[in-house]
């Protein structure tokens, strides 16, 4: 503390700025009093309060105190640091000072929003005293700079992965595109004409594949699997293993391709290059990774709406393929017999409700809306009515969510084409039964909420299930890369609004339906965003990281290794041999700054920069003192 | 036992002209804005359409399928722009074709067949309304044909509308004439009732008559004639200009051709007839005509597009409605509450129903007047 300060160090001059946040803080906290109390604290040379510290005049107030030399370190007492800590650090930078000579006191989320009455002011005063005490102990810090490899890896070769790879390459980044199957195109390849433009999926994919194959900066690894992952943002090490395809379905699909090339075969995809004929390991150094692993169609368990009990119960993708296989002008037929009527059921495997739906063994319910299946169903139904006017179509839905631009047109078109809609409640889902008595092999019974709960009996020849989207099979990947998943199983971004395509770990990005159900346009937007973020990171040549990482005081460290044993992050702490014996060494780019090592070290030889033990002690003492003074006053 | 949809009915409705049947998404807005909600009526257009879509029974009754007054309020509000009246008309036609029209309407249709008017009156007495007045016959040198609504030809209260109008036309020196017993009912209500064949017959007869006499411009006393002449007849070959009397009167007043005293100080509320307003988009000329005689205009809360139907369209004028379910009763009460001394309107059906309800409500101080009547009273 101050008496320990070497004489040649000038006494720090702390400026304290208390924000009203409109009335958000000042309605509960006596901000004037907090500022007055702060003015009396040791080292404080300016203490002010203002309606909005983050506003231009608020920042100007701080800047003037800094440039006039009145203060040389800053405490702002306002909202949560997540919102404006960087704003205020920038002010220090603008004044030509080290931005880490800054301490933040949260007196909104931690005070005015949760405490009312005099206690609120007392707590705010104590938090400001603590921040001020710490501020006096702050030392300038330098951000950690790590070199970034000008290379990015995209995992997944669906429309999102292809788009991300192209956008990265266009920004001058070398790209590795990794796909588990021999094919490009993902699930889009299994569609016919796509809403909202009616473009053929195969045309879209051929266009993308052509550009990918022509792009020299993209290296393609098909039939490849990630087997190793280490390193950190800017400098990841990836191990891939490529193997010849073995499963029957893939082999059968492969047999239908001739020469590899960018041409997309409808319902099969693109075979860009010949699959490898021997196993191979590939090591990659990459600066950023874009995950584009996509989704998987929900597979109804046997018996759900008669699935797999009757061959006449299809999923929507199966029905789309069935329609596409019928030559123009021919009526709709299934297994050789005409389809006079069919029923489409919405929300199959989506929007499941605990207590109503049963999760399959070992799996969670899909409580999310898959977003695309309404429009896809409406599109299929409208097209079927147009092509096969003799076929009656019933569409059984819970809600119609044709949310996107142009999607509503499919609803209108399906309606106008004579599709008969019925709306059911999830508690009373349609029942599908075999029916030997009637004209049609299947009978669907639905309680129509539009008709005040009247039961309708529909004789049909086919039932089509609008299956939803589930997270793809990424267990292996999440394990290896420690990827966070939401409760719905999809990969989860840091912040849904402010950082929608970034993962919490630096250098990892999300593109497309691995994150949530999206249509192609949305998946492509996300992919473009992820590509720009990743390119922005690797093309700077280096990455700046926050300096709040462990630092070893080599004089105190006796090399016992307790810290290394306690460390949570592999590779962040190691023991090295030095001339002075064994010492702990920190890899700053990997260190989480969590402080576990600080607690483990018996010699107080390791500290987290910006959160050192002397700083904590100063804070604790200030809080205790503030409490005692205020207790005395009360 | 659940019900089985009868998709053939759905198809038959579409083929009979209800082309928008399946465009309905069952949002229910139509049922919410339908005037039947104001009187706790059982008729729900949404449900009627639903039953039509599924071909299920339940809509055919007098109170449901024949409840619609064709006021057009639902149509202009439907987010899917469903021609609800067209759907209803097609559904009625299936019922009417198989002899299922309500009894009172059967009489109306029968009379139109036999007499060319819905009032079961002899054709020859069509000009009875003009007794004692100088009403010229239409000849090719006349600019306008005055087409008097059957209701104003035969119904005593309504005759005053036609009589007032010719007085105004005569004073303004308008070149016009009438065609008398040769004329048939315009068929507007007949079509809405669902008797398409009869409508075609009436329309053809009228078109032949227009043709034979060289009619180029028509003045109608009823907005119903106006609408069918301007919307339905052209598809059958009709070529002429058509104008409603209130529009012509507004023009004449603006041109100074009507010697009006302009000193009538009464408070007058205007009731927008559905077929002039919501169907025809004519909102301002009737108001201008009324203002020309110096009255104080009071606007009713439900005005213009939001006007409350009198209850007389779609054949309802001939059907029995219990007093507590009459929209016209609400309307006269609304006018009285607004302090109006006169409730003016521009449609013979409206005049009849509002007059009835005025009596039912015992509103001695309120007068129901057609615009022609109001202006004629103010001729200097
Ligand atoms: C029935 C239905 C109809 C649809 N119709 C339309 C439509 O008309 N219009 C529209 O815009 N959208 C439509 N969609 C949505 C569209 O299919 C998706 O938006 C699109 O396919 C998403 O692309 P993606 O690249 O995110 O994922 P995917 O297409 O799933 O691609 C993911 C790729 O990643 C690969 N992969 C997975 N895991 C790994 C791994 N661990 N390592 C390497 N590679 C991996 C997969 O093999 C696959 O190639 C429809 C969806 C459904 C279900
Ligand atoms: S998009 Fe439609 S069908 Fe798909 S889950 Fe959502 S509501 Fe259900
Ligand atoms: S307002 Fe239109 S879409 Fe809505 S229920 Fe009525 S007719 Fe159908
Ligand atoms: S036209 Fe008028 S009466 Fe008929 S359904 Fe529509 S709102 Fe109701």
Q: Do A477 and A451 share a domain, yes or no?
A: no
Total number of residues shown for chain B: 380
Residue A555 lies in a domain: no
Cβ-proximal residues to A32 (8 Å cutoff; 6+ apart), any chain: A49
Q: Which residues of A touch B (CB under 8 A)?
A: 392, 394, 400, 411-412, 415-421, 423, 445, 450-451, 454-459
Q: Name the domain boundary from A390, A422, A456.
A: A456
| Tokens describing residue A574 | 């190691």
Residue A561 lies in a domain: no
Q: Do A508 and A425 share a domain, yes or no?
A: no
Q: Check CB contact under 8 Å for B1 and A457.
A: yes
Number of neighbours of residue A428 by Cβ within 10 angstroms? 15
* Residues of B with Cβ-Cβ distance to A457 under 8 angstroms: 1-4
| Tokens describing residue B349 | 């059906």
Q: Which residues of chain B have pLDDT under 50?
A: none
Domains of chain B, by residue range, sit at: 7-97, 103-249, 260-377
Say which CATH topology domain B260-377 has.
Rossmann fold (3.40.50)
Nearest to A416 among B23, B26, B47 (CB): B23
Residue A598 lies in a domain: no
Alpha-carbon gap: B63 to the closest alpha carbon of chain A (Å): 18
A584: closest CA among A598, A574, A597?
A574
Q: Do A179 and A252 share a domain, yes or no?
A: yes
Is any atom of ligand 4 closer than 6 Å to the C-beta of B45? Answer: yes
Q: What is the pLDDT of residue A453?
A: 81
Q: Do A288 and A322 share a domain, yes or no?
A: no
Alpha-carbon gap: A411 to the closest alpha carbon of chain B (Å): 9
Q: Name the domain boundary from A542, A571, A588.
A: A542
Q: Say which ligand is closest to the CA of B25.
A: 3
Q: Check CB contact under 8 Å for A451 and B50.
A: yes
Cβ-proximal residues to B39 (8 Å cutoff; 6+ apart), any chain: B324, B325, B326, B327, B330
> How far is the first Cα of chain B from the last one, in angstroms, to the nearest whole number?
73
Buried b (16+ CB within 10 A) or exposed e, A456-475: bbbbbbbbbbbbbbbbbebe
Q: What is the DSSP string of B59-94?
A: --STTTTTT-----HHHHH-TT---HHHHHHHHHHH
Q: CA-nearest residue of chain B to A415?
A: B23
A112: closest CA among A55, A51, A30?
A30
Is any atom of ligand 1 closer than 6 Å to the C-beta of A372? Answer: yes
Cβ-proximal residues to A261 (8 Å cutoff; 6+ apart), any chain: A213, A270, A271, A272
Atom 6 of ligand 4, nearest CA residue: B74
Tell me the H-state helices in A76-117: 81-94
Say which CATH topology domain B7-97 has.
Fumarate Reductase Iron-sulfur Protein; Chain B, domain 2 (1.10.1060)
Closest atom of ligand 1 relative to the A184 alpha carbon: 49
What's the CATH code of the domain at A425? 3.50.50
Residue A512 lies in a domain: yes
Q: Do A9 and A137 share a domain, yes or no?
A: yes
Note down the domain range covering A387.
304-456
Residue with tokens 């301002």: B284
Per residue in A559-603, pLDDT (tens digit) is 999 999 999 988 899 999 999 999 999 999 889 899 999 999 999
DSSP state of A505: S
A444: closest CA among A463, A427, A465?
A463
Q: What is the pLDDT of residue A3?
A: 43
d(CA A258, CA A148): 41
Q: Which residues of chain A have pLDDT under 50?
A: 1-7, 634
Are domains B7-97 and B103-249 of this chain identical in fold? Answer: no
A428: closest CA among A449, A443, A407, A413?
A449
Q: What is the tally of structural domains in chain A?
A: 3
Question: Which pTM does this prediction carry?
Answer: 0.85
CATH number of the B103-249 domain: 3.40.50
Q: Do A178 and A271 share a domain, yes or no?
A: yes
A292: closest CA among A496, A480, A520?
A520
Alpha-carbon gap: B23 to the closest alpha carbon of chain A (Å): 5
Q: Do A133 and A162 share a domain, yes or no?
A: no
- Which residue among B309, B326, B353 is best mutated to probe the pocket of ligand 4, counting the most ligand atoms within 8 A of its Cβ? B309
Q: Check CB contact under 8 Å for B2 and A412.
A: no
Q: What is the pLDDT of residue A79?
A: 94
Closest atom of ligand 3 relative to the B25 alpha carbon: 3
Cα of A372 from ligand 2 centre, angstroms: 7
Q: Do A159 and A135 share a domain, yes or no?
A: no
Q: What is the pLDDT of residue B355?
A: 97
Q: Do A159 and A286 share a domain, yes or no?
A: yes
Per residue in A158-168, pLDDT (tens digit) is 999 999 999 99
Contact call for residues A384 and A332 (beta carbons, < 8 A): yes
Residue A178 lies in a domain: yes
Phi then psi dihedrals of residue A457, to 5 deg: -110, 120
Q: Do A33 and A56 share a domain, yes or no?
A: yes
Q: Do A134 and A85 share a domain, yes or no?
A: yes
Q: Does residue B323 sit in helix, strand or coil? A: helix
d(CA B229, CA B222): 11
Cα of A592 from ligand 2 centre, angstroms: 40
* Residues of A with Cβ-Cβ distance to B22 under 8 angstroms: 415-420
Nearest to A420 among B3, B4, B5 (CB): B5
Atom 3 of ligand 1, nearest CA residue: A376
A418: closest CA among B80, B17, B7, B26?
B7
Q: Do A450 and A329 share a domain, yes or no?
A: yes
What's the CATH code of the domain at A245? 3.50.50.60
Is any atom of ligand 2 closer than 6 Å to the C-beta of A345? Answer: no
* Residues of B with Cβ-Cβ distance to A455 under 8 angstroms: 1-3
What's the CATH code of the domain at A36? 3.40.50
Q: What is the ipTM of this complex?
A: 0.88
Q: Name the domain boundary from A424, A456, A488.
A: A456
Contact call for residues B167 and B125 (beta carbons, < 8 A): no
């Amino acid at each position: 503390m101050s008496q320990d300060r070497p004489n040649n160090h000038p006494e720090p001059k702390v400026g304290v700025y208390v924000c009203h946040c409109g009335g958000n803080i000042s309605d509960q906290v006596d901000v004037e009093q907090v500022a007055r109390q702060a003015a009396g604290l040791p080292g404080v040379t300016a203490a002010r309060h203002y309606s909005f510290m983050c506003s231009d005049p608020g920042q100007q107030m701080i800047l003037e105190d800094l440039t006039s030399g009145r203060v040389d370190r800053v405490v702002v007492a306002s909202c949560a640091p997540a919102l404006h800590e960087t704003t205020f650090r920038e002010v220090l930078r603008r004044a030509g000072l080290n931005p880490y000579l800054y301490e933040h006191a949260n007196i909104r989320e931690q005070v005015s929003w949760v405490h009312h009455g005099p206690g609120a002011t007392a707590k705010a005063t104590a938090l400001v005293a603590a921040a001020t005490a710490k501020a006096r102990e702050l030392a300038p810090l330098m951000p950690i700079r790590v070199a970034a490899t000008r290379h990015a890896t995209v995992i997944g070769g669906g429309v999102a992965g292809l788009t991300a790879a192209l956008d990265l390459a266009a920004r001058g980044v070398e790209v590795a595109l990794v796909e588990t199957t021999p094919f490009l195109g993902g699930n889009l390849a299994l569609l016919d004409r796509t809403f909202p433009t009616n473009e053929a999926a195969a045309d879209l994919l051929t266009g993308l594949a052509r550009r990918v194959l022509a792009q020299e900066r993209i290296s393609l690894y098909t039939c490849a699997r990630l087997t190793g992952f280490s390193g950190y943002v800017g400098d990841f090490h990836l191990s891939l293993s490529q193997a010849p395809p073995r499963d029957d379905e893939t082999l059968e699909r492969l047999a239908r391709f001739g020469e590899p090339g960018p041409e997309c075969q409808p319902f099969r995809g693109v075979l860009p290059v010949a699959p490898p004929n021997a196993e191979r390991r590939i090591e990659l150094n990459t600066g950023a990774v874009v995950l584009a692993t996509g989704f998987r169609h929900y597979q109804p368990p046997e018996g759900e709406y008669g699935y797999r009990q009757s061959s006449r119960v299809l999923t929507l993708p199966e029905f789309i393929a069935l329609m596409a296989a019928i030559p123009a002008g021919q009526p709709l037929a299934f297994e050789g017999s005409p389809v006079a009527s069919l029923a489409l059921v919405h929300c199959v495997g989506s929007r499941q409700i605990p207590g109503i739906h049963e999760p399959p063994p070992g799996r969670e319910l899909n409580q999310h809306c898959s977003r695309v299946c309404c429009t896809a169903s409406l599109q299929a139904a409208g097209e079927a009515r147009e092509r096969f006017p003799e076929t009656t179509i019933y569409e059984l839905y819970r809600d119609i969510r044709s949310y996107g631009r142009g999607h509503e047109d499919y609803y209108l078109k399906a309606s106008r084409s004579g599709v008969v809609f019925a709306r059911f409640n999830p508690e009373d889902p349609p029942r599908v039964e075999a029916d030997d008595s009637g004209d049609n092999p299947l009978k669907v019974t639905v309680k129509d909420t539009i008709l005040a709960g009247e039961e309708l009996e529909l004789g049909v020849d086919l039932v089509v299930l609008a299956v939803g989207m589930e997270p793809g099979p990424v267990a292996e990947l999440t394990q290896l890369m420690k990827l966070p998943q939401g409760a719905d199983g999809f990969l989860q971004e840091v912040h849904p609004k402010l950082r929608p395509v970034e993962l919490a770990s630096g250098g990892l990005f999300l593109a497309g339906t691995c994150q949530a159900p999206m249509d192609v346009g949305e998946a492509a937007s996300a992919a473009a965003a992820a590509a720009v973020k990743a390119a922005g990171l690797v093309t700077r040549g280096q990455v700046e990281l926050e300096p709040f990482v462990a630092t070893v005081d080599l004089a105190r460290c006796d090399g016992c290794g307790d810290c290394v044993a306690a460390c949570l992050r592999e590779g962040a702490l190691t023991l090295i041999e030095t001339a002075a014996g064994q010492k702990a060494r920190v890899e700053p780019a990997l260190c989480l700054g969590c402080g576990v090592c600080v607690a483990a070290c018996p010699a107080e030889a390791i500290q987290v920069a910006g959160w050192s033990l002397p700083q904590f002690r100063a804070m604790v003492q200030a809080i205790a003192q503030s409490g005692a003074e205020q207790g005395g006053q009360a | 036992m659940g019900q089985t949809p009868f998709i053939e009915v759905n198809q038959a409705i579409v083929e009979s002209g209800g082309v928008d049947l399946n465009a309905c998404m069952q949002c229910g807005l139509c049922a919410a804005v339908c005037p039947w909600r104001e009187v706790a009526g059982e008729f729900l257009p949404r449900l009627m359409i639903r039953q039509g879509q599924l071909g299920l029974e339940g809509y055919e009754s007098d109170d449901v399928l024949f409840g619609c007054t064709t006021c057009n309020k639902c149509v202009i509000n439907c987010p899917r722009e469903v021609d609800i009246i067209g759907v209803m008309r097609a559904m009625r036609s299936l019922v009417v074709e198989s002899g299922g029209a309500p009894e009172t309407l059967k009489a109306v249709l029968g009379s139109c067949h036999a007499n060319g008017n819905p009032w079961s009156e002899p054709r020859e007495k069509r000009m009875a309304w003009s007794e004692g007045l100088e009403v010229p016959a239409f000849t090719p040198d006349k600019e306008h044909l005055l087409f008097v609504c059957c209701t104003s030809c035969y119904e005593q209260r309504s005759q005053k509308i036609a009589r007032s109008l010719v007085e105004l036309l005569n004073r303004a020196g308008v070149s016009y004439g009438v065609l008398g017993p040769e004329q048939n009912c315009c068929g507007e209500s007949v079509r809405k009732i669902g008797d398409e064949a009869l409508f075609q017959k009436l329309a053809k007869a009228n078109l032949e008559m227009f043709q034979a006499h060289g009619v180029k411009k028509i003045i109608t006393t009823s907005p119903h004639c106006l609408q069918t002449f301007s919307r339905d007849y052209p598809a059958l070959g009709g070529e002429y200009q058509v104008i409603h009397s209130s529009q012509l009167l507004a023009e004449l007043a603006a041109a100074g051709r009507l010697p009006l005293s302009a000193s009538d100080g009464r408070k007058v509320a205007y009731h927008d007839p559905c077929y002039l307003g919501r169907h025809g988009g004519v909102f301002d000329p009737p108001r201008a005509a009324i203002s020309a005689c110096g009255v104080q205009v009071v606007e009713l809360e439900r005005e213009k597009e939001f006007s409350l139907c009198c209850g007389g369209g779609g054949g309802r004028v001939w059907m029995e409605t219990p007093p507590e379910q009459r929209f016209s009763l609400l309307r006269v009460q609304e006018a009285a509450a607004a302090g109006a001394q006169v409730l003016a309107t521009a449609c013979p059906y409206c005049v009849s129903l509002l007059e009835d309800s005025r009596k039912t409500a015992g509103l001695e101080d309120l007068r129901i007047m057609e615009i022609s009547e109001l202006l004629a009273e103010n001729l200097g």
